[in-house]
Chains A and B, each alone.
Chain A
Amino acid sequence: MFDSFLTRAALAGLGIALVSAPLGCFVVWRRMAYFGHATAHASILGVALGMVLSVSILWGALAVALAMGLAVAWLGRRGHSSDASIGVLSHGALAFGLVAVALTPGLRGDLSSYLFGDILAVTRGDLAVIWGGAAAVMALLAWRWRALLTATLGPDLARAAGIDPRREELVLVVALAVVVAVALKVVGALLIGAMLVIPAAAARPLARTPEAMALLAALLGAASALGGLWLAYLFDTPAGPSIVCLAAVLFAITAMVPRRTG
């Protein structure tokens, strides 16, 4: 059943949508959207480094994304979490990545596939990486779920309950880096942030508990991935951006739902 490139693309999109949903909820709740962008942009630099050092692109992207996540978290802890400093890191990493890719022999032509993804070129091996990474991150989030939620409400609230909020932040940094690295092939560095934030934001008006929001985000993300692929097939449009377009349309629709009260 993995023989058709469309089947593989659909499975890859589903895997990314499922893992992006719970992680994207934390990105929304903790206002980490910029954090997600910085991590994703940094992965381009990792692609070039992986190529130069002849290690796999996946490990290169993962290592640099993780380093960026830790750097942003460290800055935040020191009270430098302004939009400006994260913006400098995020766009700086992207620019350095683009230059590094241009300087790397054999990568130049592939640049757009790392910026926007190339979901139709997903191999069986890629599928194994995507679902392996997604399963690991979902297990990590499920294990830390209550502690992560408590730390999201307030660091002191977490401390009083014996939870170290810095450890929970680290969990999210690692999860983000893994998702960015495995999603690079599917939606590309520029649109990973969109897959994290948009389905979660679209689920918000319909949910009354954090868990419901994560489940709805998974549903909306999966619908966007499959529907977007189908639209891309119908209209011969790029697959990654088509998926994000559909997610944005779903957001616009749920945003019109009046928020229930009481």
Chain B
Amino acid sequence: MSLVALERVGVSLGGRRVLEGVSLAIEPGEIVTVVGPNGSGKTTLMRLVIGALTPSEGRVLRAPGLTVGYVPQKLHVDPGLPLSVRRFLSLPRPVSRAEAAGALEEAGVGHLAGRQMTELSGGQAQRVMLARALTARPQLLILDEPTQGLDQQGSAAFYRQIEELRQRHGCAILLVSHDLHVVMAATDRVICLNGHVCCEGAPAQVASAPEYRALFGTGTQGALALYRHEHDHGHDHAAHAHAHGPEDGAADARGLALDAAGPHGAGAGPGTGTGAS
């Protein structure tokens, strides 16, 4: 069964509709990336998955006993709290010295064990949080904007590492990112979010699909357009199913469901959707 499944989930925060009719499932061992502009509900979606938020509509199903490793984008440690990296790894579950050292080494920050959390740079802190998440032996690893603050080479290296993590730990990985290069490189499935699921599919197939070219153009401009394009339009949700797993991708010849398949029709050029980006 799926590790986590969202069924027609809607969320309103402070009277504002943040998510609407979102259905998706994360299967064991797959790497899924959620992309979307600022304010598109990416963080809300992630908080639903970790259980920090209950949906206003629909439901979130979690596999029984699911273990989640969560790596937030930032961690604010109050300067009044003395906390070494080693001690941080034992929160909330105590881990042995060897286990901690191994996880830090795997995250590429083995030399930081004795440091204080407040002394770390943003990138170092994220790697330490990754090490902490790995010690939980997660079935699902969740990473929020893991490449923010990294240059392109750093990002590329990080995503090669993501693939290694999956192979070594056999965990599913849910990424939230705006970095499309990443999406193309290391993801099984991309979910494009803007309050609702706009499109979903395998990245390579997305890139080569005629709809993709028609909608977003080609080359890097196209890649940029994938998350810049205007999503504030109606969807005929019945017209295309959103819940593709990698294994049922073959059912859809192109393995994706783009907006173009909706009521706008495939012929809709970029002009229809670029009103206010």
Contact = CB atoms under 8 A, between A and B. Distances in A.
B69 A160 contact: yes
Interface stretch (A66-74, A90-98, A103-111, A144-152): A144-152
A150 B206 CA distance: 40
B52 A155 contact: yes
A160 B48 CA distance: 10
A209 B91 contact: no
B83 A210 contact: yes
Interface in B84-135: 84, 87-88, 90-94, 114-116, 119
B92 A29 contact: no
A160 B115 contact: no
Interface stretch (A128-136, A200-208, A248-256): A200-208
Interface string A3-42: 0000000000000000000000000111100000000000
Contacts of A147: 92
A160 B70 contact: yes
A210 B81 CA distance: 7
Nearest to B138: A160
Interface in A192-236: 200-201, 204, 207-210, 212-213
Contact of A150 (B68, B77, B91): B91
A240 to B, nearest CB: 25
A209 B84 contact: yes
Interface string B34-49: 0000000000000100
Nearest to B116: A208
A251 B157 CA distance: 47
A211 to B, nearest CB: 8
Contacts of B83: 209-210
B87 A204 contact: no
Nearest to A148: B92
Interface in B60-85: 68-70, 72, 75-78, 80-84
A8 B124 CA distance: 51
Nearest to B117: A153
A143 to B, nearest CB: 13
A212 B78 CA distance: 16
Given A157-B75, A160-B68, A163-B92, A201 B84 contact: no
A150 B81 CA distance: 12
Nearest to B78: A29
B80 A209 contact: no
B50 A204 contact: no
8 contacts: A146-B93, A149-B91, A152-B78, A153-B91, A156-B72, A159-B51, A200-B80, A262-B114
Interface of A: 28-31, 146-147, 149-150, 152-163, 200-201, 204, 207-210, 212-213, 261-262
Interface of B: 47, 50-52, 68-70, 72, 75-78, 80-84, 87-88, 90-94, 114-116, 119, 136, 142
Given A157-B70, A160-B69, A261-B119, 9 more contacts: A28-B78, A149-B91, A149-B92, A156-B47, A156-B50, A161-B70, A161-B93, A204-B80, A208-B84
